[in-house]
Amino acid sequence: MFTILWLGMSYVVGAIPFGLLLTKMRGLPDPRKHGSRNMGATNVARVCGTGCGVATLLLDMLKGFFPVAVAVSFSNSWFFITLTALAVLLGHMYSVFLSGKGGKGAATTVGLYLGLAFWPTFLGLLVCLTVIKLGGFVSLGSLTLVTLMPILLLLTGMYNFLPLSLLVMILVYARHKDNIQRLAKGEEQPWRCCA
């Protein structure tokens, strides 16, 4: 019973649409109706300004971090931790508050990985940020991170979490399908810092 309640709570935490809540509270445009029509930090920053985008980024990361970090702190079960991470990510991507719609999962994925394996994630983030800096595409950086994480977890001996990292990679790739198509066609919009 505890496991079911915990996973349900983790899903609900993941489902909180911080990007939408922040813009509504400040009377800013609905990011679902402008730009890439996504509630993620990148589009929120484009539509509503860098400050709102950064706040969205941090909150989406935190909602991934805390449930996983808490699960790691009190459970030795890799399976329980894996289910917690997936519940949070699925909540973000398929939010009960948005009729099953949601974000692409990049920031929440970073958060859950930081809660699970800080140093491998830190290394992956350095590569991710380098890709974004050099290429200008946040989507490519996000895809790079989720592609690297299975390798980094294996190299650091966290073999039990390989299935999780592969599932996360599949989910994030699926949610970035349109970005991948635009990247392939040279039509993806590069990141521009907003005022």
- Residue 92 is part of which domain span? 2-185
Domain contains 31: yes
Domain contains 190: no
Domain contains 47: yes
Predicted TM-score (pTM) of this structure:
0.93
Q: What is the pLDDT of residues 159-193, one digit of tens each?
A: 999 999 999 999 999 999 999 999 999 988 887 65
- Structure confidence at residue 192 (pLDDT): 60
Tally of domains within the chain: 1
Query: In terms of DSSP H, where are the helices of the chain?
Result: 2-15, 18-25, 41-48, 50-74, 78-93, 106-116, 118-135, 138-155, 162-175, 177-185
Domain contains 192: no
Domain contains 84: yes
Domain contains 172: yes
